[in-house]
Amino acid sequence: MADLEARTPRVFLARHGETEWAKNGRYTGITDIDLTDNGVNQVSSAAKMLVGEAKLLDPSRLVHVFVSPRKRAVRTYQLLGVGDSPSPEVTEDIAEWDYGDYEGLKVGEIRELRHSKGLDKERPWNVWADGCEGGESMQEVTERLDKLIAKIKNIQEPYFDNDRAGDVLLVAHGLILRCFVKRWLGFPVDFPLEMIFSPGGISVMSYKNGNIKEPGFYIGLSLP
C-alpha cells in the first residue's frame, strides 16, 4: 500500500502567506495586495521544511503548476522555491472568489449592508451559498473549479500505474482552495465542511487506492 501511495499522483494546495487585509479579516478578491513580512516568513518557513528533493513537495515530481495571477499568490510561488520547470500556468481559474461589492469588507459589515437592503431575513448571509452582489455566485465558482479539476485529472491520468511522478501544485487563496477541496471530493461548494487553512500552509489531495475515480485527501501522511 505504501508503494502504491508513493506512485499515486498528488495535488498540492499552497495558500499564500499573510496579507494586511487577511490579518484584519477583510475579504480580499481582486485587490492586488502584497504579503506582509510575516507572510513572507510563513511561506519561507514552510518551504524550508517541506519543499525540496526527497521532501514532502519534491519539485522533481511536479508536472504542472497553476498559480493565481494575484501578486500575493505569485510572490508565494516564488518563495516556495520549486523552480520554473515546469513553467507555472498563471490563470484566473484558481483566482480568489470575486467578492464584487463586498471587496475589502468584513463579515459583519457585509451582513449589515445586506440587512439594509432587506436581504437575508431567514438566515445570515453565507458566502458559500449566497455568493456576492456584483461578484461571483456559487454556481460560477463551481463551474470554473470543475473545469480546473477536469484539466488536472487529464494531466495526471497518464501517470497512474507506472513509476513516473505526476504531481500538480496549485498556489492560490484561502477561500477558493477550500472550495476546490469540496469540489474535488464531489461536495457542493456550500456543503458544511468546516476547514482551517493557515496562511502559508500546504495541503495534499490525491486518489484513494491509486484510482483516479476515487479522489480523496490526506488527513495525515508520513513524511519522506
34 annotated to a ligand binding site: no
Instruction: Confirm whether 64 is a catalytic residue.
Output: no
Instruction: Confirm whether 157 is a catalytic residue.
Output: no
218 annotated to a ligand binding site: no
7 annotated to a ligand binding site: no
What's the rounded Cα separation, in Å, for the pair 127 and 124? 10
Q: How far apart are the first and last CA of the chain?
A: 15
174 annotated to a ligand binding site: no
User: Is the CB of residue 175 less than 8 Å from the CB of residue 164?
Assistant: no
Those residues whose C-beta lies under 8 Å from the C-beta of residue 23, and which sit 6 or more positions away, are: 36
76 annotated to a ligand binding site: no
Which member of 18, 20, 89, 96 is catalytic?
A: 96
Dump the DSSP string for 95-156.
SPP--GGGTT--HHHHHHHHHHTT--SSS---HHHH--TTS--HHHHHHHHHHHHHHHHHHH
Closest C-alpha among 10, 2, 4 to residue 218: 10
What's the rounded Cα separation, in Å, for the pair 12 and 210? 16
Closest C-alpha among 221, 187, 224 to residue 205: 221
125 annotated to a ligand binding site: no
Closest C-alpha among 181, 115, 187, 180 to residue 141: 180
* Active site positions, annotated: 16, 96
What residues are designated binding site for substrate?
28-29, 72, 96-99
What residues are designated binding site?
28-29, 72, 96-99
